[in-house]
Structure formats: structure tokens, C-alpha cells
A and B are shown apart, each in its own frame.
Chain A
Amino acid sequence: MELFTNQVLAGIATGAIYACMALAVVMIYQAIDHLNFAQGEMAMFSTFISWQLMQWGLSYWAAFVVTLAFSFVAGIAIERILFKPLAKAPVLTNVAGFIALFAIINSSAGLIWDFTIKQYPTPFGSAPFLGSQLISTHQAGMIGVTVLLLLGLYFFFQYTRIGLAMRAAASVPESARLVGINTSWMIALGWGMATAIGSIAGMLIAPVVFLEPNMMGGVLIYGFAAAVLGGLTSPFGAVVGGFLVGIFENLAGTYIPGVGNELKLPIALALIISVLVVKPAGLFGRHIVKRV
């Protein structure tokens, strides 16, 4: 039983990271109807920035905040420079754009910081959390930061006017323009926020997977699995999907003989395919209620 509880809690901790990645993917998907394959690399690059800042002597939280701001601005810049001109382009053109972005960021990180694995600090420490062997303080910190982030986002989208405008721009762009919303900037803002959310995921997972240019590859696939499971049209679903995938991954690795660490990733891919076959809209994907 203790093994089970332990695995579930650890699953929730990594699930928090998947939830952040899934949320970032869904936010961009809502805004431009494309999956951002480079989301993980963007998060990785941000994490390197924070590492560099700490190397230069900044404290963890100072680096954290500066990195958030950097990521937000960088996300907006990427949208303005690369994807705004592609807004009316066919799907494949956009996919090519995302792959190019992936390669550019990955190689740049390798060029600047090389491909060797680096230690990344945790501000929470790795002692047992509240004296319990079930979960470490860093894992508890991952969950805590994610929960705070989600509450903040919920408040932002539900109770602020700019959040309302962003939702409107994503759901019916033409009507949004007709009430005076600059939908183009709402998309850019979505990119900025998604990139900042991704950077949080990167900084939280870096102490676990170590810092290197390919650190987010696996994480992003879990993020995609979470987004598909929850439903690509539902930010709430993406978050729930993230936690479910985290727990599922750990339990499968522990209890299904032969899965172990090596087959965890194929399980995520199998999950994506199963959901797409059985319930393409995902668990919380929107069935829009509409009278005609």
C-alpha cells in the first residue's frame, strides 16, 4: 500500500509538470489551431536562461522571476516574427515552422551551453516532505507551485476583462473584432503566457531530469498525451489530463511487468492513440451545446 501511495504522489508531482506543458500547448492550440511542437524546446531554453542567471549570481527566485518575464516577451516575439505571417498559411507550412523553431532552439542551446548534463538546483530541497517518506519537498514544491499557477490563471481568465477578451478572441474571432478586441494581440499575449507557463514547467522538472538541450523531449510527449486525454479544446481538461497521465505513467511503470522505465514513453504514445480512436474530443473536449 505504501508503494502504491508513494507512486501516486510521485505521479501527481510529475503530473503537475505535464499539466503545465499541456496547458501551454492547449493555450496556443486555442489561439491558432496548431500544436506547438517546439513548446518543450522553448521551455528548455528558458530553463537554461534561469540557470545562466544563477551562474551569474542571482538567487533562485530572482532568476525565476526574470526568466518568466524573458519567456513572456520571447513568446510574444516568436509569434510576431514567425507565426503571425503564417496565420493564413496551410497546416503543413505551420508544422514546418514549428519544426524549424524546434531545431533552431535546440541547436542554439547546444551551441551556447553545450550538450553535457548540468545539475539544476531546487529551492525546496530534497528532504522527505514533513518527515514522510512518501514524497520529497521538491515534489511537494512542484505540486504547490503548479496549484498556485493554476489558481492564478483561473482567476485571470474568469474575472479580468483582458482574460475575458482573450477567451472571446479564441472562441469567435470575428465577433471579438466586432466588439473592439484586437484579436491579433490576444494571440500574441496567449503565446507569451504559454511560453511563461512552459518555462515554469522546465524550471521545476530540471532538478529531476537534469539540465540539457534534450531534457524536455519526453516531457512534451507526456504533455501532448495529457492535452489529448483532457481534450485539446479544454484548458481544464489539459490540467486534469496532466495529473492523470503522471499517475498512470508511474503506476504502469511499477505494476505492469516488463514496462519499467524503458517502456514508459511508448505508453504515453499508446495513450494518445487510444484516446484519439476511442474518444477523439478527449475527456473534457467541448461538445458545444447549440440550438439551430
Chain B
Amino acid sequence: MTVLLNVKDLRAYYGQVQALHGLSFSLNEGSLTTLLGANGAGKTTTLRAICNMVRSTGGIEFDGKPLNNRSTESIVRFGIAHVPQGRGTFTTMTVEENLQLGAITRKDSAGIVSDIERMYAHFPVLKQRHTQQAGTLSGGEQQMLAVARALMLRPRLMLLDEPSFGLAPLVVRDLFGILGKINREDKVSILVVEQNAQLALELADQAYVIETGRIVMSGNAKDIANNEEIRKSYLGY
């Protein structure tokens, strides 16, 4: 197993407030890893720090190359696609334009065209609405669009920030099924941040639990799901 993403002693700051206190974890190539934790634990901050959207110190290595001090837009070029909290949809643009924007750093126009078709096959509802303003889609459809937009990069690593947020349980099942499929079939490594720990642990192979900016628990997702003590004290179910 090769390590794809390695985070060491990560500290992040919002102004004077420190949000992460020396957090370390790693993600293997091809794995689906989840970061769990309560509100305000630092899950979102961790993802934002990886993409340099928040001031941070410490080591972040992707495929052996340091990511620190690179701009957000240049980190994308390493093949890291970040679906932010709230999905980051370009609401005033059409569904198809959103997909094209996902591939804006790519140069192979033929590949982009075929990838858009591939996304429509993954997510048929997007094909039906491809000329519609993305802001008119439902929450679930927008989340599908956000995932599809990220995949348009042909990423090696996808960062997902609370994909289940605000979605109906059935839609969440659907979405997580698709994520698992993408991970297995397209060989995209995924780091997913979730509050819905039960569901995330079913999907993931590795899991880390964060509390107040530190990793307090890590291991195989199944083991963590089966450990009642951890579930009760950290995951609340």
C-alpha cells in the first residue's frame, strides 16, 4: 500500500484562533477514508488546510510532494478535487457548464466531452437537466452535480465535505452507493468528512476520529464501528 496523502503535525489558524492542534494522519492510494467528529472538531478545517484555504503549518505531502505554500488553484493540478461544504455549485450557470468547469484545468477536449457523457451515465438526472440553471436543482441533485464536477478533473484524490448534509436519508444512501462505486471502479481515492458516522463507517475502509483539532482515534472502519465504547463516547450512536 502506498501512502497518497500524508499529513503531519498540522496546525491551522483562523486569525488568532487555533483550530487544529498538531493533527497527523495518512491516506493510502485507492482507499476510502473518513474523518469523523462532532461539530467544530476541525473536520472541515482539515480539508481546507489541505487545499491551502486557511493559514496552516505542518507537513502536507501528496504522492511524496509537499503541498504547503501552494495556491488553492495550483493544488487542483495535482489531481485533488475538493467538494466544499455547501457543494460550491455555480448556481447561475447551467449543469453542463458546471461540469465543464470541473475540467477547466484539463487540455484534452475530446476526453472532456466523453467524460461529460460518462457523468450523465453515472447520474442520469443530470442529463435530463443539462441546460437548466444549476441553482434550480434539488439539494440531492446539486450534490450529485458537485461530485460529478469533481470527477471531471479525473482526480487521484477527492475531498468531500459532508456530502450527506441536508439530504433525505434515501438520497444519502444513493449518493454513498455511487461514491463506493467511484472508489472501486474508477480507482479514485476518497477522503470524506462526515457527521453521519454510522453511514460513513459502512462505506469507508479507514477512519479517523477528530476531537477539538486532534486525532483521538484511528483504525479500520469496521473495528471502529464494532467498538461500542468508541461509538458511544465519540460518535454518539
Q: Which residues of A contact B (CB under 8 A)?
A: 161, 164-165, 167-168, 171-172, 174-183, 286, 288-291
Contacts and interface: CB of A to CB of B under 8 A. Distances in A.
B195 to A, nearest CB: 19
B137 interface: yes
Nearest to B74: A180
B212 interface: no
Contacts of B136: 289-291
A165 B104 contact: yes
A290 B135 contact: yes
Given A179-B101, A180-B76, A288-B91, 19 more contacts: A164-B97, A164-B101, A165-B104, A168-B93, A168-B104, A171-B90, A171-B92, A174-B53, A178-B51, A178-B72, A178-B81, A178-B84, A178-B88, A179-B76, A179-B153, A181-B73, A181-B104, A288-B135, A291-B136
B5 to A, nearest CB: 17
A180 B73 contact: yes
A219 B111 CA distance: 48
Contacts of B71: 177, 182
A155 B89 CA distance: 23
Interface of B: 51, 53, 71-74, 76-77, 81-82, 84, 88-93, 97, 100-102, 104-105, 133, 135-139, 149, 153
5 contacts: A175-B88, A178-B88, A179-B153, A181-B101, A289-B133
Contact of B84 (A174, A180, A183): A174
Which of A168, A174, A177 has the most chain B CB atoms inside 10 A of its CB?
A177
A161 B76 CA distance: 17
Nearest to B102: A179
SS class, residues of chain A in contact with chain B? helix
A290 B53 CA distance: 26
A167 B93 contact: yes
Nearest to A183: B73
Contacts of A161: 100, 104
Contacts of A180: 73-74, 76-77, 104-105, 153
B90 A177 contact: no
A167 B84 CA distance: 19
Contacts of B102: 179
A26 B149 CA distance: 28
Top 5 nearest A-B pairs (CB, nearest first) are A180-B76, A175-B88, A180-B105, A177-B72, A290-B135
Contacts of A288: 91-92, 135
A165 B100 CA distance: 10
B89 A175 contact: yes
Contacts of B137: 291
A180 B77 CA distance: 7
Contacts of B76: 177-180
A182 B73 contact: yes
A172 B135 contact: no
A243 to B, nearest CB: 24
A180 B72 CA distance: 7
Nearest to B97: A164
Contacts of B89: 172, 175
A173 to B, nearest CB: 10
Given A182-B73, A290-B135, A164 B104 contact: yes
